[in-house]
């Protein structure tokens, strides 16, 4: 693998095997995740995505032993936890607080064998004021931080309806107003935020689903990515990004976004100060040949990002994306000649994974 692709894909895929279209049971999904931590491609693997309500099902003696074994060999198992929900901000706040109780019990049971890397929170559809949203974000950030300023990253997903762009713009503005955006602007290499926290407060973007109407348009996705980069707000993606480059998917009869398009747009958009129309152009590209990786640079359409550019964007602005398959995206990279899938991954249990 070329060095730029290694930096581009490091920790890129959060394993969401519990969710459609894979929809695996918890036992199969967590066993897949543990097995993927052991293959040569494990550097691409991020956290295990799980609803807070299912954490207790893992708190058994058998899993404790298995997690300790895996953590001893490969480091703590990472968990990205779905929390919140509700029709109004107070409902969402209460849901998050209840989730934190479950998370604390989970952390106490497993100790250093696990780490909570992120909370993924669906915002309510209520039309809240900027002040109410700021207060809400400050409260949630405060109750999830440790004394040293560390804690799980928080990613909030605005409801995608006719008001989605307004909600997204308001959210990014609120993150900035709270001091939770990347300190000194998106092009700074300084660690942390102006509020002094180490954990990120970011935007979650849904890129697809099991039905065609769940996929955002190029314009919608470009708007969200541009808002995040312009405001120095970290973002992560979920759903619909099984494949590297934008393409037509016959099973659901629509165009699907590509993860090279989406994350490449954040990397290059941050470096060059792109307008939303520039993001649209990259998201629209269906030619894999235009995405090139070397040991020094990632390039698309004459725009290049060196290893430092990639590292900064991935560390602070372009987090990860949730995928119900870990194998399929890597097999597609292999088909493009960008990656050689190891025998270990090809022969891994991968229940519900291999096509």
What are 310's two structure tokens?
A: 């990639």
**Domain membership flag for residue 71:** yes
CB neighbour burial string for 251-280, b if at least 16 within 10 angstroms, e if fewer: ebeebbbbbbbbbbbbbbbbbeebebebbb
d(C-alpha 209, C-alpha 211), whole Å: 6
The whole-number pLDDT of residue 252 equals 81
Using alpha carbons, list the distances in angstroms from residue 210 to 125, 241, 243, 342.
22, 12, 14, 29
**Cα angle, residue 47 at apex, residues 46 and 50 outer, rounded to 5°:** 150
| Domain extent at residue 223 | 11-236+317-346
Phi-psi region of 78 (alpha: psi -120 to 50; beta: other; left: phi over 0): beta
Spatial distance between the Cα atoms of 291 and 301, rounded to a whole number of angstroms:
8
Asked whether the beta carbons of 279 and 226 are under 8 A apart, the reply is yes
**Sign of the dihedral defined by the CA atoms of residues 224, 227, 228, 233, in that order:** negative
pLDDT at residue 355, rounded to an integer: 39
Q: Does any domain span residue 261?
A: no
Distance in angstroms (rounded) separating the CA atoms of residues 170 and 166: 6
The whole-number pLDDT of residue 183 equals: 63
- Answer yes or no: is 232 within a domain: yes
How confident is the chain (355 residues) per 10-residue block, as mean pLDDT? 97 97 95 96 98 98 98 98 91 96 97 98 90 95 87 95 94 95 53 61 95 93 97 96 93 92 98 97 97 98 97 95 96 95 80 53
- Does residue 50 lie within any of the structural domains? yes
Distance CA 17, CA 14 (A): 9
DSSP secondary structure string, 191-210? -SBTT--SS-EEEEEE---S
- Provide the 3-class DSSP secondary structure of residue 50: strand
203 contacts 155 by C-beta, under 8 angstroms = yes
- Please spell the DSSP secondary structure of 75-96, one letter per residue: -PEEEEEEEE--SSHHHHHHHH
State how many domains the chain has: 1
Rounded Cα gap, residues 38 and 34, in angstroms? 7
Q: Is position 82 within any domain?
A: yes
Q: What is the structure's pLDDT at 274?
A: 97
Residue 102 covered by a domain: yes
How high is the pLDDT of residue 44? 98
pTM of the model: 0.94
Phi/psi of residue 333, nearest 5 degrees: -65, -35
Whether residue 206 lies inside any domain: the answer is: yes
Q: Give the phi and the psi of residue 218 in degrees, each rounded to 5.
A: -55, -45
175: CATH: 3.20.20
pLDDT at residue number 140: 96
Q: Is residue 159 part of a domain?
A: yes
Residue carrying structure tokens 């693997």: 45
pLDDT of residue 204: 98
Beta strands 13-15 and 318-323 are parallel
Kindly report the number of other CB atoms within 10 A of residue 101's CB atom: 10
Q: What is the pLDDT of residue 20?
A: 92
């Amino acid at each position: 693998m070329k060095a730029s692709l290694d930096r581009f894909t490091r920790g890129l895929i959060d394993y969401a095997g519990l969710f459609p279209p894979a929809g695996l049971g918890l036992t199969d999904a967590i066993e897949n995740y543990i097995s993927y931590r052991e293959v040569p491609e494990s550097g691409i693997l991020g956290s295990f995505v799980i609803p807070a309500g299912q954490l207790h099902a893992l708190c058994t003696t058998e899993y404790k032993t298995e997690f300790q074994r895996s953590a001893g060999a490969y480091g703590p198992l990472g968990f990205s936890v779905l929390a919140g929900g509700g029709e109004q901000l107070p409902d969402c706040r209460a849901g998050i607080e209840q989730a934190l109780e479950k998370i604390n019990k989970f952390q106490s049971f497993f100790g250093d064998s696990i780490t909570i890397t992120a909370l993924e929170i669906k915002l309510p559809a209520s039309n809240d004021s900027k002040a109410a949203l700021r207060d809400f974000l400050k409260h949630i950030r405060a109750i999830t931080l440790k004394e040293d300023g560390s804690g799980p990253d928080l990613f909030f997903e605005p409801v995608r309806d006719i008001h989605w762009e307004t909600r997204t713009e308001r959210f990014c503005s609120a993150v900035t107003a709270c001091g939770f955006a990347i300190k000194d602007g998106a092009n700074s290499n300084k660690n942390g935020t102006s509020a002094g926290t180490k954990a990120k407060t970011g935007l979650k973007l849904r890129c697809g689903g099991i039905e065609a109407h769940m996929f955002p348009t190029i314009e919608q996705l470009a708007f969200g990515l541009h808002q995040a980069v312009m405001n120095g707000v970290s973002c992560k993606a979920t759903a619909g990004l099984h494949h590297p480059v934008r393409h037509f998917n016959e099973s659901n009869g629509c165009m699907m976004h590509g993860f090279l398009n989406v994350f490449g747009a954040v990397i290059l958009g941050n470096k060059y100060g792109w307008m939303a129309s520039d993001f649209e152009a990259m998201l629209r590209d269906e030619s894999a040949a235009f995405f090139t990786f070397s040991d020094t640079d990632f390039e698309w359409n004459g725009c290049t990002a060196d290893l430092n550019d990639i590292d900064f964007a991935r560390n602070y602005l372009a987090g990860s994306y949730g995928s119900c398959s870990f194998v399929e995206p890597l097999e597609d990279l292999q088909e493009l000649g960008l990656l050689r899938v190891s025998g270990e991954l090809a022969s891994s249990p991968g229940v519900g994974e291999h096509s």
